Chains A and B, each alone.
Chain A
Amino acid sequence: MTVISIRADDISPPRAVRESIGPWLLLAPCLTVLFLVGIFPLCYSLWVSFTAYHPTNPSFDEGFVFLDNYIAIFSDAQALNALVETTIFTIGSVTASLILGLLLAFLFNQDLPGAAVIRTLLLIPMLVTPLAVGITWRIMYYPDTGVINYLLDLVSLPTQPWLSSTGQALMSVIIVDVWQWTPFMFLILYAGLRSSPRSPMEAAAIDGASRWQSLIYVKLPMLKPIIVLAVLLRSIDAVRTFDQVFMMTRGGPNLATDLVSLYLQRVNFKFFDLGYGAALSWMFLIVLALAVMMFLKRTGFMNFISGKDQL
């Protein structure tokens, strides 16, 4: 018996060894790509952030300046402005799209006839190329010839300056973001609503709770994990917004819509201050990582990600 089994092992490599190399062979291409395009450039960028790298100015080329770039950030009013604008933009857009998404999810959860078609059509905004979204809204926002002011005028409401005023520009780009990404929120929340069990709602109804009460005290807490997930995914994307805003305002007027991504683009590709740009990027990354970690901790979301809890 034993002889046979040894022979079998001689012919092909031991199963245990094969099984332990196999998965790493499968993982190799994925990890290689992520290392080459993800980790390596980031490390390279960390090194650049300690230099005064400036491709158009050879005499300063790659001089090692250690932490100078990082220190400069703290006296850079535009960097602070960009951080503030990005924070307002993200919180404003995510909150508004969450509320609208929830309302839509409850609305469509009633299963009225014909609602399925409308639900499908509502997904269109999130599928449209963000760049094209920026172009279209810029046309619609024109104060003199835009269709939005025309419609406002039609119903005798005061017309607005929208993108051209410092006070309203940020709100205007938030509206665009809400328009584009509420469908995303809606899609996730609706799916969550459908997959949550019905019996607690029925129990609440039997106990005499009104529709609204059971919605707010029973359904909403049940949806919490889904809401947290949707907010997380949405926030990560909102923070990096570039295309639409770049198309609509390029950060203006008076830096009113100058999000971090737009400011970084200017530092890097207009002033070619790549060393400083790299330092800013790293600073941004650190702030972002801290914010995400805080969010995950406070919402207890880590348990879901690591698979300890089920959504």
Chain B
Amino acid sequence: MTIAAQAGASEHSVGRKAVRTALLIAFSYAAMLIALLFFLFPYYWMVSAAFKAPGDVTAYPPVWIFEPTLENFQELFDDLDAMRALTNSLIVVGISTCLAIIFGSMAAYALARFQIKGKEVLALEILLFRMVPPIVSVIPLFILARELGIFDTYWILIAIYTSMGLPLAVWVMRVFTQEIPKSIEEAAMIDGCNRLQALFRVTIPLMLPGLVATIVIVFMFAWNEYLFASLLTSSDAKTLPVMTAVTIKPRAISWGVASAAGFLMSLPVVVLALLVQRYLVRGLTFGVVKG
């Protein structure tokens, strides 16, 4: 009797547990759906505004179903010289990303593989550069750029974006290098490679995924940068964000064109970053957290 009662009770509790688990799962999916809506809706709104006819962007009540048009993009390329800004952005960001990665990897390799006095302090100092807010260094750079005659040229932006990407590149690459045992390199050197060959044939291929993620992150920060670009260029070297900001004139704001520019700007970063998202954590935390 008691045994039967106990069995009944435990059956009952098993049933309750199943209900609770089912409820938890339902609740979890609901929460995920809400999160998805909240975090994706603004981006959806931007993309849809980019393809709406000018009058529809700020129409009230909002237009949900519309015929997509390329009018905004047309205006962007015809009137605002988006091609020029796009080229500028690609040149400036491309060169500075390459430089930051090359110089950064060199420094990282030195810090990871050689005995240097005070290298921990050096690494920390390199990291500290990340903490200086851009607005603080923009005045001296502005004055210097004018005096050196490189205001509104590629040079000033390339220099700045390279220095912006360097701390990140050094730190992430240092961690990656440390993770690959020195003995693998030494084995290659015993087999007849010199240090450089060991680096290029053994270490770098092993670091490749991390390297690609680092490139994407350095690229992203430079590509999205607006403050320096807006204050240190005026027309010749203006990048995509600067051109986008110009669409917001005090009087005649064309939100559709601005959204189109925003969509255009965000597209390469979103695609690239989602492709390497597995390694993003590593890069964004300066190599400290494993993804």
Q: What is the interface of chain A, defined by CB distance below 8 A to chain B?
A: 19, 22-24, 26-27, 29-31, 33-34, 36-38, 41-42, 44-45, 48, 53, 55, 103-104, 107-108, 110, 112, 115, 118, 120-125, 127-133, 135-137, 139-140, 142, 144-145, 147, 150, 179, 182-184, 187-188, 191-192, 195, 226, 229-230, 233, 236, 239-240, 242-243, 247, 260-261, 264-265, 268-269, 274, 277-278, 281-282, 284-285, 288-289, 292, 304-307, 311
| Alpha-carbon gap, A168 to B155, bound state (A) | 41
Cross-chain contact of B163 among A34, A147, A179 (Cβ < 8 A): A34
Set of chain B residues within 8 Å of A277, measured between Cβ atoms: 139
Inter-chain contact A30/B226, CB cutoff 8 Å: no
B274 and A285 within 8 A (CB) = no
Is A150 touching B120 in the complex (CB atoms < 8 A)? no
Q: A128-B43, A285-B136 are in contact. List 14 more A-B contacts (CB 8 A).
A: A23-B114, A37-B159, A45-B140, A110-B28, A121-B36, A132-B266, A135-B244, A139-B49, A145-B58, A236-B131, A243-B227, A277-B139, A281-B135, A288-B131
The answer, yes or no, to whether B77 is at the interface (CB within 8 Å) is: no
Q: How many residues of B contact A (CB 8 A)?
A: 93
| Interface of chain B residues 260 through 281 with chain A (CB within 8 A) | 261-263, 265-266, 269-270, 273-274, 277, 280-281
Contact B143 A123 (CB under 8 A): no
A44-B144, A139-B45 known; A195 vs B106 contact (CB < 8 Å): no
With both beta carbons as reference points, the residue of chain A lying nearest to B164 in the complex is identified as A37
Interface string of B233-275 (1 = CB under 8 A from A): 0000000010011001000000100110111011001100110
Closest chain-A Cβ to B85's Cβ sits at a distance in Å of: 13
Q: Which B residues lie within 8 Å of A23 (CB)?
A: 110-111, 113-114, 116
Chain A, residue nearest B216 (CB): A127
Give complex CA distance A26, B199 in Å.
13
Interface membership of B76, Cβ < 8 A? no
Q: Per-position contact with A for B91-119: 1 when CB-CB < 8 Å, else 0? A: 00000000100111011011101101000
A-contacting residues, B28-65, CB 8 Å: 28-29, 31-32, 35-36, 38-40, 42-43, 45-46, 49, 57-62
User: Which of A132, A233, A307, A311 contacts B261 (CB under 8 A)?
Assistant: A132
Chain B residues in 8 Å Cβ range of A226: 289
The CB with the most chain B CB atoms within 10 A, among A103, A226, A281, is that of A281
Q: Are B143 and A30 neighbours in the complex by a CB distance under 8 Å?
A: no
- B153 contacts partner chain A, Cβ-Cβ < 8 Å: no
| A260, B134: Cα distance in complex, Å | 12
Q: How far is the CA of A107 from the CA of B46 in the complex (A)?
A: 28
Q: Is the pair A145, B104 in contact by a Cβ cutoff of 8 Å?
A: no
Return B197 CB to nearest CB of chain A, in Å.
15
Q: A41-B141, A118-B32 are in contact. Are A135 and B258 (CB under 8 A)?
A: yes
Knowing A30-B106, A107-B28, the reply to whether A19 touches B284 (Cβ < 8 A) is no
Which of the 9-residue segments B7-15, B122-130, B182-190, B206-214 touches chain A?
A: B122-130
A145 touches B130 (CB 8 A): no
A-chain residues with CB within 8 Å of residue B193 when the two chains form the complex: none
Q: Is the CB of A229 within 8 A of B140?
A: no
Residues of B within 8 A of A304 (CB): 288
Check A33/B103 contact, CB under 8 A, given A22-B114, A150-B62, A188-B285.
yes
B273 touches A240 (CB 8 A): no
In the complex, what residues of B have CB within 8 A of residue A278's CB?
Answer: 139-140
Known contacts A31-B107, A122-B36, A281-B135; is A269 also within 8 Å of B262 by CB?
Answer: no
Which of A118, A182, A305 is close to B36, meaning CB atoms less than 8 Å apart? Answer: A118
Contact yes or no, B132 A42, CB < 8 A: yes
29 A-B residue pairs with Cβ-Cβ distance under 8 Å, sorted by A, are: A22-B114, A33-B103, A36-B163, A48-B140, A107-B32, A110-B28, A121-B39, A122-B39, A124-B40, A124-B270, A127-B274, A128-B270, A129-B269, A132-B263, A137-B42, A145-B59, A187-B280, A188-B281, A188-B284, A192-B289, A226-B289, A229-B289, A243-B241, A260-B133, A278-B139, A281-B135, A281-B137, A285-B136, A288-B133
**Given A27-B106, A135-B258: A269 in contact with B45 (beta carbons within 8 A):** no
**CA–CA, A65 and B161, complex, Å:** 33
Given contacts A123-B274, A128-B266, contact A240 B133 (CB under 8 A): yes
B203 CB-CB contact with A under 8 Å? no
Cα of A311 to Cα of B137 in the assembled complex, Å: 32
> Are A107 and B39 in contact, with the CB atoms below 8 A?
no
B160 contacts the other chain (Cβ, under 8 Å)? Answer: yes
Q: Contact: B126 with A34, CB < 8 Å? A: yes
**B137 and A42 form a contact (CB under 8 A):** yes
- The smallest beta-carbon distance between A278 and chain B, in angstroms, is 6
